[in-house]
Structure 1
Amino acid sequence: MALLEVKNLGISFGGLRAVDQFHVSIEKRQLYGLIGPNGAGKTTIFNLLTGVYKPTEGSILLDGISLVGKGPAQINQVGIARTFQNIRLFHKMTVLDNVKVALHNQIKYSVMEGVLRLPGYFKREKEMDKKALELLEVFNLHEEAGIIAANLPYGKQRKLEIARAMATNPKLILLDEPAAGMNPNETEELMENIRFIRDKFEMTILLIEHDMKLVAGICEQITVLNFGTELASGTPDMVLNDPKVITAYLGE
């Protein structure tokens, strides 16, 4: 059974059909790409998968559990985490604390332990520090753990957002244009990071991206959207050489 199974997903805003009969099946540990022109409906689909929007019709199953009707917090608990096209960090907190915020759902201590600073509090804090630093090291951010997040370069802020999403221990992570604003060297390093987290953490990844080199370089399957409907689906070679995709996406 696929980890994520989406069938006939659709949503309308007033008279506008933003997504129509979208379907996708993503296997465990798969790297899957969702691409298309601006306004094709990619981020809308992410919002449907994470409970920001409620679908007009269709089904969403994660590991056999229906997500339709659940809110973002519930869906995160079931096992989906995401990043955003516009970075959303706690900018006044340290790099380490940004990741630790996400770990509080897994490593907990009682209110009494926290208020009185009992041994259980320090034990859990030490556990969170260790786990957060391990995740930061994946993205070569561990040496900057004490830096305020707002002071990180843009590319590293993007990586921090992925590390924080990973801290929720998801089954599926949705990356919304993770390479946006990065230079070629940063993009190449990010590709290696994404491959690494897939392999080390046995993670399933669905990403939206405009950087075609990144998509073709790491994704095993791709779906192309246009005006909220599927235009093509298949391997990167098949999809990126499809005349319909070239016309719609590249304008040729």
Structure 2
Amino acid sequence: MALLEVKSLGISFGGLRAVDDFNLKIEKGQLYGLIGPNGAGKTTVFNMLTGVYKPTDGSIFLDGENITGKKTIDINKHGIARTFQNIRLFHQQSVIDNVKIGLHNEHTYSTLSGILRLPSYRKTEKIMNEKAMELLEVFDLQDEADILASNLPYGKQRKLEIARALATDPKLLLLDEPAAGMNPNETKELMETIRFVRDKFDMTVLLIEHDMKLVSGICEELTVLNFGQVLAQGKTSDVLNNPEVIKAYLGE
């Protein structure tokens, strides 16, 4: 059984059909890419998968469970986490506190316990601090744990956003243009990080990306969207050599 299965997904905004008859299967542990020209509907798909938009039709199954139309917080609790094209960190909070925000899915305490600093609060905070530091070490951010997120270099802010997403303990990680704004060295390091995350956390990853070096370097399979419809699907090398894909997307 596929970890993620999307069947005939579609959404309309007024008279505009933004995504139509979108089908997708991603197996557990895959690194999968969703590519296409600007405006093709990629982020709209992400927004439907994460509950930001409710599909007009079709269905979404995560690990065999129908999550179609559920609220964003519920979908996250079921096991989908995402990052964004434009980084959405809590910039005026510390690096470690950004990660701890993601841990609140799993570790909670009452408001009263927090106000009075009761033993249950202190115990939970200790567990969360330890878990957050473990995640920061994965991304080599442990030495910046106490600085403001806004003071991190751009590439490290990208890593922090992934660390925070992983703190929710997802089954499926959605990365929305993770290499956007990165230089070639940062992109190469990001590729290694994504592979490491997949292997260490037994993670399944679906990413949107325009950097073809990153896509061809880590994605095992691809889906290409064009004008809201699937143009091609399959093994990465086959898709990138598809004449229709080259014509519509690569412009060669």
Same-fold call, TM cutoff 0.5: yes
Q: 1:224-239 counterparts in 2 under 5 A?
A: 224-239=224-239
Cα displacement string for residues 180-225 of structure 1 (whole angstroms, at most 9, x for unaligned residues)? 0011111111111111111111011000000101111111110011
Q: Which residue of 2 aligns with 1:167?
A: 167
1:239: Cα distance to partner? 0.6
Q: Which residue of 1 aligns with 2:98?
A: 98
Q: Which residue of 1 aligns with 2:33?
A: 33
Q: Distance in 2 between matches of 1:16 and 1:120?
A: 52
Q: Which residue of 2 aligns with 1:56?
A: 56
Provide the identity percentage: 73
Q: Which residue of 2 aligns with 1:205?
A: 205
Q: Which residue of 2 aligns with 1:243?
A: 243
Q: 1:1-252 counterparts in 2 under 5 A?
A: 1-252=1-252
Cα displacement string for residues 214-242 of structure 1 (whole angstroms, at most 9, x for unaligned residues)? 11111111001100111111111101111
CA RMSD of aligned residues (A): 0.9
Q: Distance in 2 between matches of 1:69 and 1:183?
A: 37
Q: Distance in 2 between matches of 1:110 and 1:39?
A: 44
* Structure 1 unaligned residues grouped into runs of 5+: none
Q: Distance in 2 between matches of 1:198 and 1:156?
A: 18
Q: Once structures 1 and 2 are overlaid, which stretch shifts more, 63-72 or 17-26?
A: 63-72
Code of the residue aligned with 1:36 in structure 2: it is G
1:137: Cα distance to partner? 1.2
Question: TM (normalized to structure 2)?
Answer: 0.98
1:141: Cα distance to partner? 0.9
Cα displacement string for residues 71-116 of structure 1 (whole angstroms, at most 9, x for unaligned residues)? 1011101110001111101010000000001111211223332222
Code of the residue aligned with 1:23 in structure 2: it is N
1:165: Cα distance to partner? 0.5
Question: TM (normalized to structure 1)?
Answer: 0.98
* Structure 2 unaligned residues grouped into runs of 5+: none
